[in-house]
Amino acid sequence: MAVPVSQSWTVATYVIKQKLKGRKRFPLVIMLEPLFRCNLACAGCGKIQYPAHILKQELTPDECFRAVEEAGTPMVSIPGGEPLLHSQIDKIVEGLVARKKYVYMCTNALLLKEKLHLFKPSKYLSFSVHLDGQRDHHDFSVCREGGYDAAIEGIKAAVAAGFRVTTNTTLFDGADPNSVRAFFDELMEVGVEGMMVAPGYTYEKAPDQKHFLGRARSRRLFRAILSNRRKTWKFNASPMYMEFLMGKREFSCTPWGMPAFSIFGWQKPCYLLQDGYADTFQELIDTTDWSSYGTESGNPKCANCMVHSGYEASGVYYSLGSIRGLLDTAMAMFFNTYEDKGALDLLNEPVTPIHSHNPLVQIQTAEPQPEVTA
């Protein structure tokens, strides 16, 4: 089991309590973005194209704690930007752990080894390392030669020091399902606790607009990757969300499930879109026109979206919302290999990975680059 029992229990009791209270819209995980600055400039990222004066700003630890207490979620994800560049990230993590929040710090791990001494191993803290595939694919995806090796080195150091380490992987058009499956084996071998995988989102500001996946292509890709699973693979995502990615079930988006808070405030309506900001979480819930979002709304910005931050909460709320949801989830956990002959045939189809016919373009950032071994 990828997620510790105490964490699963905390999340389950939280969700059931919210439902018993009759809350119609409640969050599952807060996406706390304490800065937008990064030491990578990935072609598919829409977060780091802000002007320099914005990239210099940081949330203070107290601003972070206030936002987390306002949302009241049992889990906090810290994306960015690169959180390890934040000048007080150790204080932020320490304060959240003291509040018994399950923290996932999303990092590209370039600085993980050198900053590990800032943190203490805890069941409440996981490093969620961003890795998009095997060495060539990841380095192409993050526009940084040596990025994969540095991240693996960081993972090994964190695992050896007793930290929980998970991974998050974003897949774009041109991903090779056989390579992704081999990549899962590599992650399990280095001691990763659980993997999360999701399709990328078409950020309007991202430099590379050509390689985002449409819904049908996403389902085909994830059916090929996630069917016929090896018993050794462990995932850090709701089984129902993974079935959604494989095209086995339909969910509506839950944009309030993982609300994003940054130096601008609470972002409307979700982590991906920027249709304004609210000063408080309650204002976000009360003043957002939720009917304008999600695939069924007809909003073109949502048409192809299947991202984790929109649909993981849908999967969890389905699992804990009815006897049927509980049974479906139990079945998915018990019969978790998903044997599928058609999916095996998909693995035999020729693929031309994008990194095989495109040069790796290293995009420079203003941040000093840590030394990595290629």
Interaction between residue 272 and ligand SF4 (CB under 6 A):
yes
Interaction between residue 302 and ligand SF4 (CB under 6 A):
yes
Write out the binding residues for ligand SF4, residues 282-301 only, by CB under 6 A: 293-295, 301
Continuous segment of H or E residues that includes residue 108: none
Residue number with the smallest Cβ distance to ligand SF4: 310
> Do 109 and 155 touch, CB atoms closer than 8 A?
yes
Binding residue for ligand SF4 (CB under 6 A) from 269, 288, 318, 328?
Answer: 269
**Smallest gap, in angstroms, from Cβ of residue 32 to ligand SF4?**
17
State the Cα–Cα distance between residues 290 and 254, nearest whole angstrom: 9
**Smallest gap, in angstroms, from Cβ of residue 305 to ligand SF4?**
3
Residues binding ligand SF4: what is the number (CB under 6 A)? 15
> Do 155 and 165 touch, CB atoms closer than 8 A?
yes
Interaction between residue 245 and ligand SF4 (CB under 6 A):
no
**Smallest gap, in angstroms, from Cβ of residue 173 to ligand SF4?**
18
Residue 68: HSE in the Cβ half-sphere, 13 Å Cα cutoff: 27
Which residue, 278 or 307, has its beta carbon nearer to ligand SF4? 307
> CB-based contacts of 283: which residues, under 8 Å, 6+ apart?
266
> Do 116 and 69 touch, CB atoms closer than 8 A?
no
**Smallest gap, in angstroms, from Cβ of residue 98 to ligand SF4?**
31
The encoded tokens of residue 244 equal 């959604």
Which residue, 281 or 293, has its beta carbon nearer to ligand SF4? 293
Query: Which pairing describes strands 125-130 and 102-107: parallel, antiparallel, or unpaired?
Result: parallel
3-class SS at 33? coil
**Smallest gap, in angstroms, from Cβ of residue 291 to ligand SF4?**
11
Distances (CA, A) of 73 to 27, 96, 126: 6, 11, 16
Of 234, 232, 213, 224, residue with least CA distance to 178? 224
**Smallest gap, in angstroms, from Cβ of residue 295 to ligand SF4?**
6
Task: Please identify, among the stretches 163-171, 174-182, 188-196, 270-278, the one whose residues bind ligand SF4 according to the rule CB under 6 A.
Answer: 270-278
State the Cα–Cα distance between residues 95 and 125, nearest whole angstrom: 11
State the Cα–Cα distance between residues 295 and 1, nearest whole angstrom: 32
> Do 50 and 203 touch, CB atoms closer than 8 A?
no
Binding residue for ligand SF4 (CB under 6 A) from 131, 221, 253, 278?
Answer: 253
Contact characters 151-180, ligand SF4, x per CB under 6 A: ------------------------------
**Smallest gap, in angstroms, from Cβ of residue 71 to ligand SF4?**
17
Binding residues (CB under 6 A) for ligand SF4: these are: 253, 255, 269-270, 272-273, 293-295, 301-302, 305, 307, 309-310
